[in-house]
Structure 1
Amino acid sequence: MTTAPTQLRFRAEDGAEVSVTPTNLVVAGYTGRNQTAVRHHIEELAAIGVPAPDTIPAFYELDTNLLSTNYEIEVDGTATSGEVEPVLIRADGRYYLTVGSDHTDRYIERSDIHASKAACPKPVAGTAIALGDNPRAVPWDDIVTRSWVDGDLYQEGTLAQILPISKVLATWDQPGSGAVGLVLFGGTMPLLDGTFRYGRDWRMRLDVPGRTPIEFNYSVSVRSA
């Protein structure tokens, strides 16, 4: 039995309803602006058994059926957590910016990063900012992202800490892929206390200067055995 293609529906700032059938879901990792620090972090992770990526930035291509705009997601393990990320959507040559959560299984992550990301849905907001044909149409370094877990502030910072998503896109893109329906997670902020939290209720927010903030919430439950 074949699985029906994923359809992602969201609302643009002008109220227009946009429907995208993405052919690619890509989660970018190790996108820190300070690449020397990124390499040092990779070495630290390798020392505790986390495998190093093949490339920097790293690109984890996932099943588009993991995308979700639902308010609730289900996971298989108890050691999962979210991460706030800017999300670039490309549909018919036009771009949209929204916010999502790279929800990840931290237990699996110790041995296989790709599998850890593939183990969990990828929630995204139901609204987005239309960028036209230019993914650089907003002041990237001034954008602020935040996340909360169970009401506590978990991450906060400007996107000046990570590579511009247009650069991440250019690194991933292959010739002739401009028509591809793409959802690209662009990287995340450090955790404020450096410790993963495995809470139930998550809140993600993206603030672009001069635009209406994009925000969404979702709850996590563990599937019954």
Structure 2
Amino acid sequence: MTLRLRVAHTGEDLSFAPARLVVAGYTARDQGAVAAHIAELAEIGVPPPASVPAFFDLDPALLTTEDVVRVSGANTSGEVEPVLLRAGGRWFLAVGSDHTDRDLERDDVAASKAACPKPIGATVARLADEPGSFDLDHVSAESTVDGVTYQASSLAELLRPDEVLARMRVALPDNPLDTGEDFALFGGTTPLLGGVFVPGARWELALRLTDGTDLTHTYDTKIDTTGEDPR
């Protein structure tokens, strides 16, 4: 599976064929808020994570830049996330959505994430060569669902990317930082304005960088009635 991406400002065409896809969860900088969120999810039947942050090693074939994705049912939802891409030793930032099956999430969080494609925008921004230099605190993150604002915050709400990567190195055996593989890491999401997941058909995502670059993606969900893999 190879994604065709475009690098902002340079116009470089980037062929990205990741060997790994990792989705991080519970990455809020406010650990008290994380604990409260886990408690809220437990009230609706979602099991607590084995670790905080949590890391889910998924099939990279779930990644897509398509504007229509197939899902298994009506109760699915997405969210805006920073996505770190390592391609050929270089680092890039994309906007993405950890689209998730909320019904399945009550039984198996990892399976609920694996059940849905992971949309990302086709335009990416080049980052510094060293993860410790990534400063995304002033990047704003926004999303809408069916035209209604769903999230509006900044990435300062999340752990710094280098900290998420460091914790991934500890949490995942044979992690891609050490194997040298190209990979994508979804870095977690900012608070929902309404505080609850909202299913919907159309999702609009944006990361707005301080240099004026906007990384955006819009996608629609289509319920799959064939019973096939939604990818």
Query: TM-score by structure 2 length?
Result: 0.90
CA distance in 2: counterparts of 1:65 and 1:200, whole angstroms: 22
Q: Contact 1:11/1:128 (CA < 8 Å) preserved in 2?
A: yes
What corresponds to 1:3 in structure 2? none
**Counterpart for residue 11 of structure 1:** 6
What does 1:176-215 correspond to in 2, within 5 Å? 177=178, 179-215=180-216
1:22-33 alignment, distance < 5 Å: 22-33=18-29
* More displaced stretch, 36-45 vs 23-32: 36-45
Separation of aligned partners in 2, 1:208 and 1:105: 30
CA contact (8 A) 1:91 1:179 kept: no
Normalising by the residue count of structure 1, what TM-score does the alignment of the two structures yield? 0.92
Per-residue Cα deviation, 1:140-166 (whole angstroms, up to 9, x for no partner): 111101001111111110111110122
**Aligned-residue offset at 1:35:** 1.2
**1:40-189 equivalent positions in 2, closer than 5 A:** 40-173=36-169, 174=175, 177=178, 179-189=180-190
Counterpart secondary structure, 2:35: helix
Distance in 2 (alpha carbons) for counterparts of 1:175 and 1:21: 14
Query: Superposition RMSD on alpha carbons, in Å?
Result: 1.6
Percent of aligned pairs with the same amino acid: 47
Tell me the secondary structure at the aligned position of residue 50 of structure 1: coil
For the residue of structure 2 that corresponds to 1:140, the secondary structure is coil
Q: CA deviation at 1:198?
A: 1.6
Render the CA deviation track for 1:13-69: whole Å, top value 9, x for unaligned.
210011121111001000010112212322333344321111110001111110000
Q: From the superposition, tell whether residues 170 and 152 of structure 1 become closer, same or farther in structure 2 (CA, over 3 Å).
A: same
1:131 partner amino acid: L
8 Å Cα contact 1:139-1:208 kept in structure 2: no
Report how far residue 74 of structure 1 moved: 0.4
- For residues 157-182 of structure 1, give each alpha carbon's deviation from its aligned partner in whole angstroms, at most 9, with x where no partner exists: 01111101221012113486262111
Q: Note closer, same or farther for the CA distance 1:211–1:28 as it changes in structure 2 (3 Å cut).
A: same
What is the CA distance between 1:224 and its match in structure 2?
1.7
Kindly state the Cα deviation for residue 129 of structure 1 after the two structures are TM-superposed.
0.6
